[in-house]
Amino acid sequence: MRIVISSGHAKDVRGAKGPEPWGLDEVNEAREIVPEVAMRLRANGHEVVEFHDDISQTQDENLKRIVSFHNSQKRDLDISVHLNCYIPTSGGRGTEVLYVTQQEVAAKVSAAIAEAGGLINRGAHYRADLFF
């Protein structure tokens, strides 16, 4: 498969950030996750293209830039890595995978992430209201 994976948000358009001193910074964390996932996908024989937005200055510009990049690529699967944060905890609280057309794939990915990380599997969730 040819897979395009991007980190959510942009260098100057930050995503979720938890309260200090333990606050998770979504952009920084996603930018660490994307190369690791890409490496593992490549090790399993997939062709992977990575993308990080270092240019956008507004959320609208960022959303359009990420989608435009993905759409400019020939690919079998799109992945956009996002993290949410709420309150400081002693560990992760769960994982979920949002999908538009591939419920079965999303369910398998969510279960695999949850198992690998010892997280609660919150499952696959259909979302037609997202820009990406």
Q: What's this model's pTM, rounded to 2 decimal places?
A: 0.82
Same domain, 53 and 112: no
Q: Which amino acid appears at position 109 of this protein?
A: V
Q: Structural domain of residue 16, as residue ranges?
A: 1-87
Hey, is 25 helix, strand or coil? Answer: strand
Q: Which amino acid appears at position 125 of this protein?
A: H
Same domain, 51 and 93: no
If one counts every other C-beta atom within 10 angstroms of the C-beta of residue 15, the result is 21
Give the pLDDT band (50/70/90) at residue 5.
very high
Give the pLDDT band (50/70/90) at residue 8.
confident
We report the CATH number of the domain holding residue 35 as 3.40.630.40
> What is the C-alpha separation between 6 and 125, in angstroms, rounded?
19
- Element (H or E) spanning 64, and its range? helix 59-71
Q: Give the pLDDT confidence score for residue 2 in this predicted structure.
A: 97
Hey, is 56 helix, strand or coil? Answer: coil
Hey, is 125 helix, strand or coil? Answer: strand
